[in-house]
Amino acid sequence: MKRRTILQATVATVAMMISMPAFADKISDAKAVVDKYASKVSAWDGPTSGPKASADKSIVILAADMKNGGILGVVNGIQEAASAMGWKVTVLDGAGSIGGRTAAFGQAMALKPSGIIINGFDAVEQKPAMDQAKSSGIPMVSWHAASNVGPVPDVGVFANVTTDAMEVSKSAADWAFIDAGGKPGVIIFTDSTYAIAIAKADRMKKEIEDLGGTVLEYVDTPIAETSQRMPQLTTSLLQKYGDKWTHSLAINDLYYDFMGPSLASAGIAGDGKPINVAAGDGSESAYQRIRAKQYQAVTVAEPLNLQGWQLVDELNRAFASQPWSGYVSPLHVVTSANVEFDGGPKNSFDPDNGYRDQYKKIWGK
């Protein structure tokens, strides 16, 4: 019996020695991903050639919900770039509902615009209206209308603009894994209304589990209803999981806009657990929370203003019957350590890579 006990102990020790390098490699690999995306973005890696600005264009922005900071940031970028082009812009707000977006699309078609920009909702949701726009010869570009970057020919989208959503999700999960010392207990928040949201949440779940962490719960709750749902949901999840809940991973910062009061009521400090991490989009409120260390530690931000400029550039390429640019915009892991560069003082990820001048040069402006 004693010999067997010694043998078992020896086997366990050997197994531990074998697993330690593997665990160290996981930490090292995850840290390399986070460090890569937490660095400054100072070099322009986008297009340097393309068609000159098309004249006398009127465009409509169909915004899923202007209360969403990511969508608002993109709208601001589009308006800035369209002004440089000399284009007329009309913004229609879907107000966070399918019915609202359907009505907005109807208004857009009545305006007979030169082009349409889908901002922040799945293209397939409005497929009948998009088919109508396509058959009418109205070019369409989009932001977050699909999980992939580039053309979405099935619904007539010339180019869908986004960062690499899977890298956004991976880097968010990797940060949580490192911060938890390799033992995160994660709750994931997503919204099945959007294909890109499910794709991002699934990727975070896979990454956490592949690394050896635990996904406590995968919560599907509408992003448009976060103000009503998140306070009570947060309280319920705290009661259910307690200290096992070390980190939150959400597909958007908006989920954390309404968690703070519930966490504070439970006696949790602003920098206490659960630690909140967002896989997009880098809203103004997220920057403020990260800077103040109040109930959010990380956002994986998209360059919303730059993406607005890219959308205008892609639409201009569509007007000129040229291919899309092929550009995939950069992402940025924002923490309290780097919150003050690349646009941080303005509470946004606005890369210091001269993108405005680069696009104006292409357009001849």
Residue 44, both tokens: 């322009």
User: What's this model's pTM, rounded to 2 decimal places?
Assistant: 0.85
Q: Among 19-23, 31-35, 300-304, whose mean pLDDT is lowest?
A: 19-23
Distance CA 59, CA 112 (A): 9
**Alpha-carbon separation of residue 58 from 83, 170, 293, 314 (angstroms):** 11, 38, 43, 15
Single out the residue of 197, 205, 263, 239 nearest to residue 64, CA to CA.
197
pLDDT of residue 8: 47
Please give the pLDDT value at position 193: 87
Reported as a single tens digit per residue, the pLDDT across 248-299 is 999 999 999 999 999 999 999 999 999 999 998 899 999 999 999 999 999 9
Each residue's pLDDT tens digit, 158-198: 999 999 999 999 999 999 999 999 999 999 999 998 888 99
Rounded Cα–Cα distance for residues 211 and 205 (Å): 10
**CA separation for the pair 148, 280 (Å, rounded):** 15
Mean pLDDT of the chain: 92
Judged by DSSP in three states, 187 sits in strand
Task: Express as a percent the part of the chain with pLDDT over 70.
Answer: 94
Alpha helices in 86-225 (DSSP H): 98-111, 127-135, 165-179, 195-211
Residue type, 209: E
Task: Please say whether the beta carbons of 163 and 200 come within 8 A.
Answer: no
Structure confidence by residue, pLDDT tens digits, 12-27: 444 444 444 587 888 8
- Kindly give, in sequence order, each residue whose CB lies less than 8 Å from that of residue 293, ignoring residues fewer than 6 positions away: 270, 271, 336
Of 191, 165, 69, 51, the C-alpha closest to 119 is: 69
Query: Distance between CA atoms of 270 and 288, rounded to whole angstroms?
Result: 12
For 296, the 3-state DSSP assignment is coil
Q: State the pLDDT at residue 21.
A: 55
Token code pair at residue 314: 């892609």
CB of 176 within 8 A of CB of 249?
A: yes
The answer to whether 253 and 285 are in contact (CB under 8 A) is: yes
